[in-house]
Amino acid sequence: MDILRCTINNVDLVIEAINKIKKAEDLNTIEANTVTRFLNNDNNYFFVALDENNVVGYAIVYRQVSLDSLNDVMCLYDIKVLKKHRAKGIGELIINEIKKICESENILKLWMPTNIRNIPASILCKKTGAMAKELGNEVIYTYEFK
């Protein structure tokens, strides 16, 4: 299993990941110029999980400037794994790769918002060491690095 941070050279791979995984769940379409614009911003991260060069998962992460620290923070906006590949540790591999990048880039924290009813996300975040803070129907999972 390989976890790859996509660059501008991977536009087709990003489109493949979104079409293969997300489109199976909703009917959104993605265009190359949108992906190009996303990847051209150094604060946007798209990770793809490849199993023998087949896309099986992805994550979207945004780097944000923090007003209360010299170190930036990151938001794990979306993480998805193909249904037939779930519960095999792929989500953990993706998050662990993101955490490595956070540590190497001196990120203060990685946070992920989700709904309290999103049990798979809760299990994944707790398994990978996140702390939970409930806010009504929402939960913010946080990984601290400093």
Neighbours of 53 (CB within 10 A): 7
**Per the domain annotation, does 134 fall within a domain?**
no
**Per the domain annotation, does 138 fall within a domain?**
no
Q: How buried is 19 (Cβ within 10 angstroms: 0-12 exposed, 13-18 middle, 19+ buried)? A: middle
pLDDT per residue over 41-50, tens digit each?
A: 999 999 999 9
Average pLDDT over the chain, rounded to an integer: 93
**Per the domain annotation, does 33 fall within a domain?**
yes
CATH of the domain at 49: 3.40.630.30
Name the residue with tokens 């536009």. 11
pLDDT at residue 69, rounded to an integer:
83
| Domain count within the chain | 1
pLDDT per residue over 63-75, tens digit each?
A: 999 888 889 999 9
Neighbours of 71 (CB within 10 A): 15
Distance in angstroms (rounded) separating the CA atoms of residues 71 and 15: 31
Domain ranges, residue 44: 2-128
Q: Is the pLDDT of residue 78 over 60?
A: yes
**Per the domain annotation, does 139 fall within a domain?**
no
For strands 73-81 and 109-115, give the pairing: parallel
Structure token pair of residue 81? 């794994």
